[in-house]
Amino acid sequence: MARIIKYVFYDLLRTRFLLFYTLFLFVSTFALFQLDSDPNKVILSLMNIVLMVMPLISVVFATIHFYNSYEFIELMLAQPINRKVVFLSEYAGVALSLTSGFLIGVGVPILFYGAGHSAVMLLLVGTLLTIVFVSLAFLSSVLTRDKAKAIGIALLFWFYFSLIYDGLLLWIIYSFSDYPLEKVTLALVSLNPVDLGRIMMLLTLDVSALMGYTGAFYREFFGSYIGLLFSVGVLMLWIVIPTVLSVSIFSRKDL
Amino acid sequence: MISLNKVNKQFGKLRALQEVSLAIALGKSYALLGPNGSGKTTLIKSILGLVVPTSGDILFEGKSILNQCAYRAKIGYMPQIGHFPQNMKIGQLIDMMKNIRGEVNEIDDDLIRDFKLYSMYDKPMHALSGGTRQKVSAALAFMFKAPVLILDEPTAGLDPLSVEILKEKIIAERGIGKVLLITSHILSDLDDLAGDVIYIQDGKVQYNDSIHNLKEDTQEKRLGKAIASWLGQQEFLSNITK
C-alpha cells in the first residue's frame, strides 16, 4: 500500500494545485492577521473560509483527481494488487495531501501569531471537514462512470450541506417554534458535518451568547468534554460511513 | 489452468456473456474470435477481475478469483487500448511497474529493446503516438515473465515491422509452453500464433476446438476461410432445422 501511496503523492505534487492551495491559505491567513489585531476575530473570519471554501475545494479537487487517475487505477487493477488497497491508497493520498496543505497554510501563520485554543479547534475542524468532503467526493466518484456527473453529485453534496440543509433547518425551527427544539436541533445538526463544525467553532469563540437559550444549551452540551468527543465522533462517522460505502461499491465495480 | 463455469455478465439490458463455460489448459494457445461487441473483451476482463460476472465463477488453478488478486501475478495483460498515467514518462512507468510488482528480480526486456523504447525513456506518455503506446503496453505485458499471457488485439495500430517483432516474441513465448489467449481481427496473424480457436458470438461460445480440426472439418487451408465457411455451414444447418 505504501508503494502505491507514494505514486499517488508523486502524481498529486506534479499538478502544483496543492502548492497553490497551500499558498492561497497561507496568504489569506497572514492577510487576516495583518488586518485585525484581535486573534479571535481572525479565527472567526478564518472559520468562514474553513466552513465554506475548503469543503468546496476538497470535494471538487478529490473528484477531479479520482477521474484523472482512472488510468493509473485501471493499470494497477490488472496487477496483483487488491482493489481495496488501490482505492484506499488514492483516498489516503488525496486526504493526506489536502490536510497537510491546510495545516501548513493555516497552521504556520497561526503558530507565528500565536493564538489560543480556538485556533487549535479551527485546525481540528478544518482537518476533519477536509477528510469528510474527500470521502463524499470519492463516494460520488464511484457512484457514476461519468466525470461530469460525479462532479455534479459532489457539488450537490456541498450545496446541500453548506446551503440547503441550513435553510431546511431554519424552516423546521421556524415552523415548530412553539415547541422546545433544543434536543431535536442537536440531533439534526449532527446530520450535517458543516453545521457541527460551525457549532464546535462558535462555542470555543465565546460568541454562543448570541444564540440565546439554544446557545446556552449547546454551550452546556458541546462545551463539555463529552460534547467534544461526541462531535468529533460524529464527524468521524461522516468520514467512515461514506468511505466504507464507496469501498464496497468500488470492489464490485466494472472497469 | 483457467476455467470458466457458466459465467454470465449483464450490463443493464445487454447480456454481454451468456453461460460461458471454458477450460483454458496449460501449454495451449487460444485465438479468441468473434464479431465486434460479441463479448471478447468482457470475457478477458472477467478473467482479470476487472469485470465482475453477474453469476457463475472463474477458477484460476482451481481457486475462485472472486475478490482475489494474487493470481494476477501470473498474468501478463495487454489491453485493447492501453490507458496509462498521462504525465508519466516511459521510463518512470516501467520503473513503477517493476517497483509495484516487486517480487520479480529479472525482467524480460526483449520488447523494450526491440521496439527501441530505451531511447524514448524520457518521453511523456501523453506525447506518444497510438502505436508507440501499444508498444509500451506490449513490453509491459511480457516484462514479468508471466506464465499466462492475455493479449487483446495486440497488433492493432502497430507498423508492419513491429507486428513482426511482436509476433516473433509471441511465437517464442508459445514455444516455451506459456498459455496464450489472443484476440485479433487479423486472422492471418493468428494462424501462426494459436493452436485452438474459441469463437464467441452474442456472448455465447459457438466453437471451441483446435485450429487443425477446424481446417479439417471445413477443408480450408487458411484460418480466415475456415471460419467463414464454418459460419456458412452453421447458418445452413440452422436454416434447415427451421
pLDDT tens across A203-223, in order? 887 766 566 666 677 777 777
Give the range of the structural domain holding residue A45, as residue numbers without chain letter. 2-250
**Which residues from chain A sit within 8 angstroms of residue B67, using beta carbons?**
251
Q: What is the DSSP letter of B119?
A: G
Cβ-Cβ pairs closer than 8 A, A with B, add up to: 58
Residues across chain A: 255
Residues 94-123 (B) with a CB less than 8 A from some CB of A: 96-97, 99-102
Q: b or e along B33-72 (b: 16 or more beta carbons within 10 Å of the residue's beta carbon)?
A: bbeeebbbbbbbbbbbbbbbbeebebbbeeeebeeebebb
Task: Identify whether A255 is part of a domain.
Answer: no
| Predicted pLDDT at A133 | 96
Q: What is the pLDDT of residues A53-104, one digit of tens each?
A: 999 999 999 999 999 898 899 889 988 999 999 999 999 999 999 999 999 9
Does residue B14 sit at the A interface (CB-CB below 8 Å)?
A: no
Element (H, E) at A185: helix A182-190
Nearest to B184 by CA among B45, B30, B24: B30
| Predicted pLDDT at A107 | 93
| Predicted pLDDT at B42 | 92
- Asked whether the beta carbons of B83 and A71 are under 8 A apart, the reply is yes
**Which residues from chain B sit within 8 angstroms of residue A81, using beta carbons?**
69, 72, 100
Domain count across chain A: 1
| Predicted pLDDT at A226 | 83
CA–CA distance, B153 with B136 (Å, rounded to integer): 14
The CATH number of the domain where B55 resides is what?
A: 3.40.50.300
Give the range of the structural domain holding residue B120, as residue numbers without chain letter. 2-241
Q: B45 vs A74: CB contact, 8 Å cut-off?
A: no
Q: B50 vs A255: CB contact, 8 Å cut-off?
A: yes
Q: A255 vs B51: CB contact, 8 Å cut-off?
A: yes
| Predicted pLDDT at A57 | 95
Helices (H), chain B: 40-48, 90-100, 110-114, 130-143, 160-175, 187-193, 211-218, 223-241
Sheet of strand B63-64: strand arrangement: B14-24, B2-11, B55-60, B63-64
Is A117 a residue whose pLDDT tops 90? no
Task: Identify whether A49 is part of a domain.
Answer: yes
User: Cβ contacts of residue A167 below 8 Å, gap of 6+?
Assistant: none
Q: B101 vs A75: CB contact, 8 Å cut-off?
A: no
- Give the pLDDT band (50/70/90) at residue A11: confident
Could you please report the per-residue DSSP string of A58-88?
Answer: HHHHHHHHHHHTHHHHHHHHTSS--HHHHHH
| Predicted pLDDT at B108 | 86
Residue of A nearest to B9 (CA): A254
Of A75, A80, A81, the CB nearest to B84: A75
Q: What is the DSSP letter of B69?
A: -
Q: B72 vs A82: CB contact, 8 Å cut-off?
A: no
Q: What is the average pLDDT score of chain A?
A: 89
Domain count across chain B: 1
Of B69, B83, B96, the CB nearest to A81: B69
Does residue B69 sit at the A interface (CB-CB below 8 Å)?
A: yes
How far off is chain A from B203, nearest CA to CA, in Å?
A: 17
Interface ipTM: 0.86
Query: pTM for the full model?
Result: 0.89
User: Cβ contacts of residue A70 below 8 Å, gap of 6+?
Assistant: B83
List, for chain B, all residue ranges whose pLDDT scores fall below the cut of 50.
none
Task: Identify whether A160 is part of a domain.
Answer: yes
| Predicted pLDDT at A55 | 94
Task: Identify whether A154 is part of a domain.
Answer: yes
How far off is chain A from B126, nearest CA to CA, in Å?
A: 12
How far off is chain A from B198, nearest CA to CA, in Å?
A: 23
| Predicted pLDDT at B81 | 86
| Predicted pLDDT at A204 | 81
CA–CA distance, B38 with B204 (Å, rounded to integer): 8
| Predicted pLDDT at A114 | 77
Q: What is the pLDDT of residues B147-184, one digit of tens each?
A: 999 999 998 889 999 999 999 999 999 989 899 999 98
| Predicted pLDDT at B90 | 92
Percent of chain A with pLDDT over 70: 96
